[in-house]
Amino acid sequence: MKNTLFTLVFAFFCLIINGQNCIKGKIEELSQLKEKPLAVVLYEENKDLVKKLGKKIAKNNKKSEEYKKELKEYRDFISYFNTTIKEVVPDYWTLNDTKNIKYITEGELTKDKLKNYAILNLTSDVIITDLEFLTSQKNYVITYGASEKNRNKAVFQNYLTNVNYNIPGYADKELKKSIEKLKQERQNGPKYLSKENLIVSLALAQKYIEKAIELNNKISFEDFAGEEMKNNCSQLEGKTILFQEAIVHGKIKNELQNLLPTAKIELVSTDRIAQAVDNNEDILIGFPVTKKFVKQKGLGVMSVIPVTHKMIMNAKTKKIVAFVPHSGITSYSYFKKKDFKKLSEPCK
């Protein structure tokens, strides 16, 4: 119990303090990982959870159908992720040779039987726990490191990028309708670990790692994104940009074209964003990227909120075309007027 508690506390401080200092090891370690065969972690069923739900279903009372649904959704999620990750990694991961990928379970990873492999892990989530208020929040991460039991020792660690399921922690009246619509769109489908999010996360992580290796020096995510933006910002001219409706501040929806006159803006559903990424369309997508999580108190309630950058990426090339660094604790998951103004001047 003490070890578990220490791990949770450590994860909390690691995420809050380090933000996006994504490279935890040495640059030489990243270069060495590239030369190793790749092992990718899959989900496996939690036997205790399945057994617990099975007992509840067996009681055959009013809640049996509810527990049957919960068990089905749990198993469907595992099946979806394991199938999808096997589709995505061979096509989008280029740092290692992917001809002979070894797929392993979380249980096999913790037994540390995989010597001399580079481990790519998108399964687990880091839990931020506030011991004072007994609250927790799941925040999915991607790690890349050598074979070892403790995931916190990975050479690279960053949050998974969520391109189409960002529900703002704050919403005014104008946003609430869009948020409710968003919830309905995604209630029966995968959320954070969906195919489009895995693709974008892998693409960003690799480009960031490659830049650090090229410079032979650790580079902040902000500096990496800013440099890529300068090289690609001319692509903003005349392009169509897709924004998920629920992450655009409601009060400025009628002003968007004036705020970002160099491009054509479309407010679309989550499925449209997913389609653009999955089909490698030559079109731009806008989304927030988490820098860090911070604690916030209000009316006696503690919450953990994401502080985000704002980004525009080409869905085909995965190049960053525009980037606005976070602007403090009020840099929520939705795009505000000041974000659009900054996005419109990337090449100046």
Mean pLDDT by 10 residues, the chain (348 residues): 39 42 88 94 91 88 87 90 95 92 85 81 71 59 84 87 73 67 65 89 95 92 92 89 85 83 88 93 93 70 75 95 80 80 75
Question: What are the boundaries of each domain within the chain?
Answer: 2-164, 214-343
Tokens at 253, concatenated: 């929806």
Tokens at 167, concatenated: 């529900």
Would you state the pLDDT for residue 18?
A: 42
**Cβ atoms of 179 and 168 closer than 8 Å:** yes
Q: Which of 240, 232, 292 is nearest to 262 (CA)?
A: 240
Would you state the pLDDT for residue 135?
A: 52
Would you state the pLDDT for residue 101?
A: 94
Q: pLDDT digits over 258-306, tens only? A: 888 888 899 998 889 999 999 999 999 999 988 887 776 665 566 667 7
C-alpha 234/C-alpha 262 separation (Å) is 10
**Cβ atoms of 129 and 136 closer than 8 Å:** yes
Phi, psi of 149 (to 5 degrees): -75, -35
C-alpha 51/C-alpha 195 separation (Å) is 29
Would you state the pLDDT for residue 223?
A: 92
Q: At 71, which helix (H) or strand (E)?
A: helix 64-92
Tokens at 12, concatenated: 């909390």
Q: At 7, which helix (H) or strand (E)?
A: helix 2-18
339: which residues sit within 8 A by CB, 6+ positions away? 310, 324
pTM higher than 0.75: yes
C-alpha 23/C-alpha 15 separation (Å) is 13
Strands laid side by side in the 284-298 sheet: 264-268, 240-244, 284-298, 301-314, 320-324
Would you state the pLDDT for residue 2?
A: 37
Phi, psi of 33 (to 5 degrees): -60, -35
Neighbouring CB atoms inside 10 A of 314's CB total 20
Helix (H, G, I), strand (E, B) or coil at 40: strand
Tokens at 246, concatenated: 């629920």
Q: Which of 95, 135, 73, 153 is nearest to 301 (CA)?
A: 135
Specify the residue for token string 């693709």.
199
Neighbouring CB atoms inside 10 A of 101's CB total 18
Would you state the pLDDT for residue 8?
A: 40
C-alpha 124/C-alpha 46 separation (Å) is 13
